[in-house]
Each structure stands twice: as structure tokens, then as C-alpha cells.
Amino acid sequence: MKIPKPIITREHGAWAVLFVPLLIGAVYADRFSWNVVYLALSALGVFLSYVPMHTLLRRFIGMEIAAEKHSESFFWAVVYLLFGVVFIIPLLRQDLWYLIPIGILGMVSYFGNFLLTRTVQKSIFSDLVAVAGLTLSAPSAYYVSTGVIDEKALVVWILNFLFFGCSVFYVHMKLQATALKKKEWGLEDKLSTGKLNIVYHLVVVIIVLMLAVYHFTPTMVTLAYVPMVFHALYGTIQLHRRVQFKHLGFLLLGQSIVFAVLLLWLIDQ
């Protein structure tokens, strides 16, 4: 039997949303463990199954899918999921059973995103649901490194979810600007289009400051969000209909790396 061409997601930003938080969670635990490698490989398998599983689910709910595409999707969904299961077994053998409820939350996010994108067009809410699931890699990495689920695991998830939510609002602002097809952009037009983007970033700063006030994080952690907030405000003021999404993707990837470095440095200050 000829092995079909591998099915890989085209949403390149999703790779960063999964693996940058995983790295943050692992380093935040302040100890190296091969368990993180097992977790990363397991997460990779489940993550790669996203696209072929979506195809199978669309066929399941009655949408027309070509027989060849369905067959290829079934093959790779099984391969990817088996890959994920193989590498989660060593972790479960160490009695890291909290990975199961974390995995269930990830599945809720996965199916929630699928249902939302099937009933309505891709939206800010559907993307936030996906981000909520992908950033669970942060507390998972912390857990498999330390063996405990505590408030630090929750905080590291919140910090990552808030940050990657920034990208969701920013990209949707750009998409809206492109759809409007306006030739001339006044300041009022830009602020009207970018109001949700601005409000979200302000809310993020307030939440992170509140975490600091109640001693869940150092106050300096707020500085890790400064580059993204500055970019969001600048991008709103400079808003226009022409957007190079490929360049934007690389820029957001770079910002996620900067965020990871700053967060890990500042969180121990």
C-alpha cells in the first residue's frame, strides 16, 4: 500500500502557540526532565492529528468529502494519534495521572473549536477556544517536570493564554481591515476597527497587574507584555487595508520568542 503524503496544518502560528508555552512551563519548573521530551513528542502527535481529524469529523456530520481524501485523513489521524499515545505511556507509568484531565480539557477545546467553526465563520471566540487548549502545554510541562499541580501551574497557563490571545485579536483586526477595502483611513476609522484589539490588550495588562498585586507573580512580569502591547497600539494607529500576512506571521512568532525570554527572566525577579 502506498503511504499517502503527510497531512500538516497550514496554520503555522499554531506551532508557536503549542510549543512556546510548553518550553515556558518546562523552564519555569526549574529542573530538566526527560518527561518534557515525552510530553513534547506526545503533544506533537496529537497536534498533527488536528487537520486529518477535522476532515473525518466533517464527513461524520454529513459533509461531502472525497473518498481519497477521507482515506488519507483516516490513515494519518491513526498514525499521529498512535504516536501521541506511545509517548504519553511513559508519563502515565510514573503516576502522572493529572495529564488525563488536562487532556480532556484539551479535547473540549478541540471539539469546541470544531463546532464553532462549523456553525459560524472563524471568529475571535473560536480562535480563543483553540488557544485555551493549545496553551495547556505550559501547565502540562510544569506538571511532568515537578510532579505537582499547584497555583504556579495555573498562573503559567493564564500568562500564556493572555499573551497568545493578543495575537488572536490583532490578526482579526487586520482581517477586518482587509475586508473593509477602504482606500482612505482616518484616525476614527482605525480606532473603530481596532477597538476590540485595544480593549483586550488593556484588559491583559490589568489582569497581569492584579496577579502581581495578589502576589501570584512578580510585578515585573508585566514588562513581558510591553512589546506586544506596543505593537498592538502601533498597528492600530498605522492600520490600512494592505496586510502582508506572511510577514505578520513571522513578526508574531518573533514576539512569542521575546515574550518567552522576558517572562522566564522576569518571573524569577
pLDDT tens digits, one per residue of 15-29: 999 999 999 999 999
- Rounded distance between C-alpha atoms, residue 192 and residue 81, angstroms: 44
- Rounded distance between C-alpha atoms, residue 113 and residue 165, angstroms: 15
pLDDT tens digits, one per residue of 127-165: 999 999 999 999 999 999 999 999 999 999 999 999 999
pLDDT tens digits, one per residue of 222-252: 999 999 999 999 988 888 767 676 777 888 8
CA angle (112, 61, 42) in 5-degree steps: 50
Q: Give residue 120's pLDDT.
A: 62
- Rounded distance between C-alpha atoms, residue 48 and residue 76, angstroms: 9
Give Rg (Cα) of the chain.
Answer: 20
Counting runs of H as helices and runs of E as strands, what totals does the chain give?
12, 0
Q: Give residue 119's pLDDT.
A: 66
The number of residues making up the chain comes to 269
The pLDDT of 257-264, averaged and rounded, is: 93
Q: Give the pLDDT band of residue 269 (cuts 50, 70, 90).
A: low
Average pLDDT taken over every residue of the chain? 89
pLDDT tens digits, one per residue of 171-230: 999 888 888 777 777 888 888 888 999 999 999 999 999 999 999 999 999 999 999 999
1 pLDDT above the threshold of 70: no
The pLDDT of 102-131, averaged and rounded, is: 87
Q: Give residue 229's pLDDT.
A: 93
Q: Give residue 241's pLDDT.
A: 66
Which bin fits 164, alpha (ψ -120 to 50), beta or left (φ > 0)?
Answer: alpha
Helix (H, G, I), strand (E, B) or coil at 121: coil
Q: Give residue 128's pLDDT.
A: 94
Burial of 97 (C-beta count, 10 Å sphere; 0-12/13-18/19+): exposed
87 pLDDT above the threshold of 70: yes
Return the residue matching grid coordinates 493529572. Answer: 98
Q: Give residue 258's pLDDT.
A: 94
